[in-house]
Amino acid sequence: MLFLVLVGVVIIFRRTIFLIPVLANTYQPAAPVKGMPNFPDDGFLKNPWLTLIHILPALLFVLLGPLQFVKSIRAKSPNLHRWIGRIVLVSGVVIGISGIIMGFKMAISGVSETAVITLFGTLFLFSLLKAYSHVRLGNIVLHREWMIRGFALGMAVAVTRFIVGIFFATSFLTDLTPPDFFGTALWLGFTIQLIAAEVWINYTRG
């Protein structure tokens, strides 16, 4: 989990640094790579503010989310745990809604990518809201389980980066370009994370 957090932070900082000259109107595009036209910069170039609305709350989610699972914080500082939870919840809602919008406006792989982002983005939001509703009802067990699902889905983008890397590394054999494989990489990343969450929930339940 901590390794995925590190990957997530790197992704966010890299994208933020990329957007600074775009917003300052000083961006100079690099020469396109053969077979990979401006991947994945075109969508971010055309929607810089939407991208920032998505990735800046993601930094809070990535950094604060793991603290929700630290037993000593929950036991010794319940108020801190609750306030961190509120920040994670609000940032997660912003991430989920903006991510679904990006899936329609910035899809690299077309319908396949839009579908996976809409499906798992909705499940991500549903998981967070279920976690919130259960803690309000005092059901800590179900609150924990839905928070695990929500956080796992929120970190799926970090897993997807490794899968995309594999596709890039093997592209000389497959001749696949990002529009061909990016949607598939997202399907794999989100599915792997959801399965991992369910395995962990069942392993630790009770």
Whether the CA torsion 99, 58, 5, 47 is positive or negative: it is positive
By C-alpha distance, which of 135, 76, 71, 122 is closest to 96?
Answer: 122
- The rounded distance, in Å, linking the Cα atoms of 59 and 77 is 23
pLDDT over 70 at 25, yes or no: yes
pLDDT digits (tens, 9 = 90+) for 140-167: 999 999 999 999 999 999 999 999 999 9
- Taking only the tens place, the pLDDT of each residue in 64-102 is 999 999 999 999 999 999 999 999 999 999 999 999 999
For residue 18 the two structure tokens come to: 């990329």
Q: Domain tally for the chain?
A: 1
Domain residue limits at 61: 2-204
Q: Are 60 and 94 in contact (CB under 8 A)?
A: no
Q: Nearest-CA neighbor of 143 among 63, 69, 54?
A: 69
Q: CB-based contacts of 107: which residues, under 8 Å, 6+ apart?
A: 43, 113, 114, 117, 183
CATH number for the domain harbouring residue 114? 1.20.120
pTM (2 decimals)?
0.90
